[in-house]
Amino acid sequence: MIATQQNAVAARNSEPLVSLSSLRKEFPARKTSAFGVRRKVVAVDDVAFEIRAGSTFGLVGESGSGKSTIARMILKLERPDAGEVRFEGRGLWQQTRAQEQDYRRNVQAVLQDPYGALSPRLKIRDIIGEPLSVQRKGRAEIDATVARLLQTVGLGKDAGNRYPHQFSGGQRQRIAIARALSVEPRLLVLDEPVSALDVSIRAQILMLLREMQQRLGLTYLFVGHDLAIVRYVSEVVGVMYFGRMVEIGPADDVLRHPRHPYTQRLVSIASMRQALGHERLTGELPNPLAPPSGCHFRMRCPYATERCVDEAPLLRESSDAHRVDVPRGRVDVPRGRVDVPKGLVACHYFAEIEAGTKAATGPKPQRPA
């Protein structure tokens, strides 16, 4: 596997494999009447981050925060309305035909629902081999690769002759991973890959993903809502709220010492540090058709002020850049290190909140129009 060697080398140098700059995506909303104004929903609003080769970037947020839209833009399934996605420095929408083919091979996806992801009419052998036949590989080569992949993801050889309905959810997710790996990609986009699986199976798939990363030098974008799982797989974490990135930084830093009030609330709930009912959800969720001015979180934030109403906070540095070990774990491969970015927080008052000097002022509701 020559590509694997290349991947492993790439994993050690710290150039970003993927970089997103000022990314924006809008979707048109349905008109309420024939004479109504055509309104739009901003799904992703000025988002920028980098994914280092050989590392995992975890993207966290509640439903509707725009994390799947970002995943789809990286997969080149949606065209951004502004900003750019670059892969190895080259913009996705400036690719030639040949470059695009190459890109589609280099980037593969594993999605949430392992039942919808596999064609019920194809045998597993054909499902895993399909990307290879698209790449015009010969029958013998396809068969050999499929057999190897089945073994890699921990399924028996005879699995190739069976159909998807004969497998459980966890096994199907293994098949989806094998299919993604068949064309030796560099980047895997994992959109909630374990959310639909049973608890005891989740750990198997997470461990498989980590082992694959170490063995093949893969780069992951891991989209998830379970903070503990995202922390387990990621070196760098970005937290999204309502289309904007509110906090980004090293996973341990962000998820153990969150600085943005929204991240703090998420972490407080997930870690169960506070008794049930200690922190109540105050205020209301923003309306995507009429987003609030200023900071999107101010309507639920315990620390909001007039400034949060007038001025949207920019991401500001909260900690120094440093290097973290990657990959981790027990498998015997040389450990590499990657640079992780500086911690960034989009809140006017994160320093005061951290120092404990910011008074709780309560949320600032939407001003009446």
Residues at the contact surface with another protein, assessed by CB under 8 A: 62-63, 168-171, 198-204, 206-207, 225, 227-229, 231-232, 252, 255-256, 265-267, 269-273, 276-277, 279-281, 284-285, 328-330
- Going across the sheet that includes 244-250, the strands are 107-110, 187-191, 219-224, 56-60, 236-241, 244-250, 344-345, 316-317
Report the alpha-carbon distance of residue 326 to residue 267 in Å, rounded: 24
Task: Say if CB 178 and CB 150 are below 8 A apart.
Answer: yes
Closest distance of CB 207 from another protein, Å:
5
Of 261, 268, 202, 271, the C-alpha closest to 233 is: 202
Between CA 44 and CA 258 the distance in angstroms is 22
Task: Work out how close the CB of 208 gets to another protein at its nearest, in angstroms, rounded to a whole number.
Answer: 9
CB of 282 to another protein, least distance (A): 10
CB 276 → another protein: shortest distance, Å?
Answer: 5
- Is the Cα torsion angle 72, 197, 54, 186 positive or negative in sign? negative
Kindly tell me which of 57 and 87 has the beta carbon lying closer to another protein: 57
| Residue nearer to another protein on the CB measure, 119 or 271 | 271
Of 196 and 353, CB closest to another protein: 196
Q: How far is residue 148's CA from residue 322's CA, in Å, rounded to a whole number?
A: 38
Taking the complex as a whole, the smallest distance from the CB of residue 24 to another protein amounts, in Å, to 24
CA–CA separation, 102 vs 99, rounded Å?
Answer: 5
Q: Residue 32 carries which side chain, given as an amino acid letter?
A: T
- For the CB of residue 160, give the shortest distance to another protein in the complex, in Å: 18
Closer residue to another protein (CB): 184 or 191: 191
Alpha-carbon span 355 to 357, nearest angstrom: 6
Q: Select 97 or 330, whichever has its Cβ closest to another protein.
A: 330
For residue 176, the minimal CB distance to another protein (Å) is 17
**203-233: burial string, b at 16+ Cβ within 10 Å, e else:** ebbbbbbbbbbbbbbbbbbbbbbebebbbbb
Nearer to another protein, 135 or 204 (CB): 204
Rank residues 10 and 347 by Cβ distance to another protein and give the closer one: 347
DSSP 338: E
Task: Give the shortest CB-361-to-another protein separation in angstroms.
Answer: 20
Tokens linked to 288: 């995507």
Q: Which one, 63 or 357, has the nearer CB to another protein?
A: 63
Whether 313 contacts 274, CB under 8 Å: no
Question: Which neighbouring-strand residues pair with 109?
Answer: 189
8-state DSSP, 314: P
Q: Which is nearer to another protein, 277 or 334 (CB)?
A: 277
Q: Residue 289: how many CB atoms within 10 A of its CB? A: 12
DSSP reduced 3-state for 271: helix
Residue 100 beta carbon to another protein: minimum distance, rounded to whole angstroms: 36
